[in-house]
Amino acid sequence: MLRILLVSARQETLLPLVEGLSLDAEVHLEKVASGAEALRAVRTASPQLAVIDIGLPDTEPLPLVQELLTVNAMVNTAVVSPLSEEEFHGASEGLGILAHLPLQPGKGDAGELLRKLRKILGLSPGGTGP
């Protein structure tokens, strides 16, 4: 089972991403709408991936990534950002972010994100073991 935390106040905009993630039977998706809720969820549920959106009511994505890592250094992160790849890389350097997602990620982005997550976790493409 892949435990994924979606941190977004823009659930409607991210619906294609959610649909793409939900196509995978091994994904258990939890949704929260603030940084504070994300920190609680990472403490209690230990997701393998937190997808962090822009426009949260209480924090910005990159500072939240830093906070999440202090709570659980094993959580992987993906961040929705309007920055170009080059700008994002510079802004997020040292945070070990798994993926940079566009402002309106779709089903294809979900598939690529799951591929990267499984690779970093050492899981086979459609399974829970090598």
The domain that holds 33 is classified in CATH as 3.40.50.2300
Half-sphere exposure of 15 (CA within 13 A, CB side): 2
Distance between the two ends of the chain, CA-based, in angstroms?
A: 14
Q: What is the pLDDT of residue 126?
A: 61
Q: Is residue 74 part of a domain?
A: yes
pLDDT at 85 over 80: yes
- Mean of the per-residue pLDDT values of the chain: 95
Full-model pTM? 0.94
Q: Is residue 128 part of a domain?
A: no
Nearest CA among 83, 79, 88, 84 for reference residue 109: 79
Longest dimension (CA), the chain: 39
pLDDT digits (tens, 9 = 90+) for 1-53: 999 999 999 999 999 999 999 999 999 999 999 999 999 999 999 999 999 99
Q: Which band of pLDDT confidence, cut at 50, 70 and 90, is reported for residue 128?
A: very low
Q: Is residue 130 part of a domain?
A: no
Contact partners, residue 101, CB within 8 Å, separation at least 6 = 17, 51, 78, 79, 80, 81, 109, 113
Q: Which domain holds residue 83?
A: 2-121
Q: Is residue 129 part of a domain?
A: no
Structural domain total, the chain? 1
